[in-house]
Amino acid sequence: MQLVIEPGLASANYWRDLWSYRELMAFLTWRDLAVRYKQTAIGIAWAILRPALTMMVFVLFRRLVGIERGAVPDVLLVLAAVLPWQFFSNALSDASMSLINNTNLISKVYFPRLIVPIATVATAFVDFLITLALLAVIMAWIGFGPSWTLIALPLYAALAVGLSTGLGLLLAALNVKYRDFRYVVPFIVQVGLFISPIAFASTNMPSRWRPLYSLNPLVGIIDGFRWSILGGRTPIDPNFLFTSVAITLASIVIGVWYFRRVERGFADVI
């Protein structure tokens, strides 16, 4: 085995390295989960409590504004949107802070840095799977059976993972150099909660606002989750889906490209 170190050569075996360090990624994911649940008193229950409480707030909101109840119980309608949203917002905030939070690793050991933000997205994804189980329990309790549309769920989940990874990589890399992004991300997450179709359906949007609304890539993803979980009883707009896919792909390309470009300088500036 021979390793050549030269300016600009770090990238030569990058993807092979990334693969050989996959165990480290698993360990980092496991570490984040273990630490989080060891530090808190009720541990893993937080993963369920947070979406459950958020869901209740939104259901209450729907009652207060007097949104008509449809064929689907409000609880499921809202929860089917809260789950992908919460996954996205957790993954994005954690990924964007991941490099800074692991400064000691980055300045002391070599490994492909992509591992760090990806591991945080994986951590958020494990939480997401737990909440999905909560959803299944509630559906069984209400007696609301899933239908064939459920097979599309992995695809929408993949979109959510892709979008949070792409944006997360970009923001994590920017955060190393410009600490301003520490404040930008919570802002994005906060605004995103209001401009995403969580308490309401995207079809409530007047049609002249739709092109603008479709610029929020989460609209297509959240609509898709609803559609897939609730057995096609909620509409999906192909335009929303199309822009979601396009923005997700673009964010992955830009995120990976920018991350790779600045990565080799991380140890010098972090």
Partner 1 sequence: MSLPLISVEGLGKKYRIQHQQNGARYLALRDVIAQKLAAPFRRRPGGEVPASEDFWALREVSFEVGEGDVLGIIGRNGAGKSTLLKILSRITEPTEGRAVLRGRAASLLEVGTGFHPELTGRDNIFLNGSILGMSRVEITRKFDEIVEFAGTGQFLDTPVKRYSSGMYVRLAFAVAAHLDPEILIIDEVLAVGDAEFQRKCLGKMGDVARSGRTVLFVSHHLATVENLCRTAVLLDRGRVTASGPAHDVIAAYASDPTSRRGSERLLDRVDRQGNGAVRFAAVTLRAGDGRKIDALTAGAAAIFEIAFQNTAAVAQRSLHVSIGINNALGQRVTTWSTSYVGGDLPATPAGDFVLQVRLPKVALIPGSYTYNLFATVKSDTADWLIPGGGFDVEPGDFYGSGQLPGTRDAAFISEHAFTVVS
Contact set with partner 1 (CB under 8 A): 1-10, 23-24, 27, 31, 34-35, 38-39, 104-111, 177-180, 264-265, 267-268
CB of 175 to partner 1, least distance (A): 10
The residue among 176 and 247 lying less far from partner 1, judged by its C-beta, is 176
Whether the CB-CB separation of 116 and 105 falls below 8 Å is answered with yes
CB of 252 to partner 1, least distance (A): 24
CB of 11 to partner 1, least distance (A): 10
The residue among 68 and 268 lying less far from partner 1, judged by its C-beta, is 268
CB of 49 to partner 1, least distance (A): 21
The residue among 110 and 257 lying less far from partner 1, judged by its C-beta, is 110
The residue among 127 and 263 lying less far from partner 1, judged by its C-beta, is 263
Sign of the Cα torsion 45, 50, 53, 55 reads: negative
Q: Count how many residues are written for the chain.
A: 270
| 8-18 core/surface letters (b: 16 or more CB in 10 A; e: else) | eeeeeeeeebb
Name every residue whose Cβ is closer than 8 Å to that of residue 7 and which is 6 or more positions away in sequence.
none
How many C-beta neighbours within 10 Å does residue 217 have?
26
The residue among 55 and 174 lying less far from partner 1, judged by its C-beta, is 174
CB of 109 to partner 1, least distance (A): 6
CB of 113 to partner 1, least distance (A): 10
CB of 32 to partner 1, least distance (A): 10
Instruction: Measure Cα distances from 78 to 86, 171, 261 in Å.
Output: 12, 28, 40
Taking the C-alpha atoms of residue 47 and residue 58, their distance in angstroms, rounded to an integer, is 18
The residue among 105 and 153 lying less far from partner 1, judged by its C-beta, is 105
Task: Name the one residue in this structure whose structure tokens are 């591992």.
Answer: 115
Instruction: Measure Cα distances from 30 to 26, 92, 100 in Å.
Output: 6, 18, 19
Name every residue whose Cβ is closer than 8 Å to that of residue 196 and which is 6 or more positions away in sequence.
81, 85, 216, 218, 219, 222
For residue 1, with 0-12 CB atoms within 10 Å meaning exposed, 13-18 middle and 19 or more buried, which class applies?
Answer: exposed
CB of 264 to partner 1, least distance (A): 5
The residue among 16 and 31 lying less far from partner 1, judged by its C-beta, is 31
The residue among 4 and 212 lying less far from partner 1, judged by its C-beta, is 4
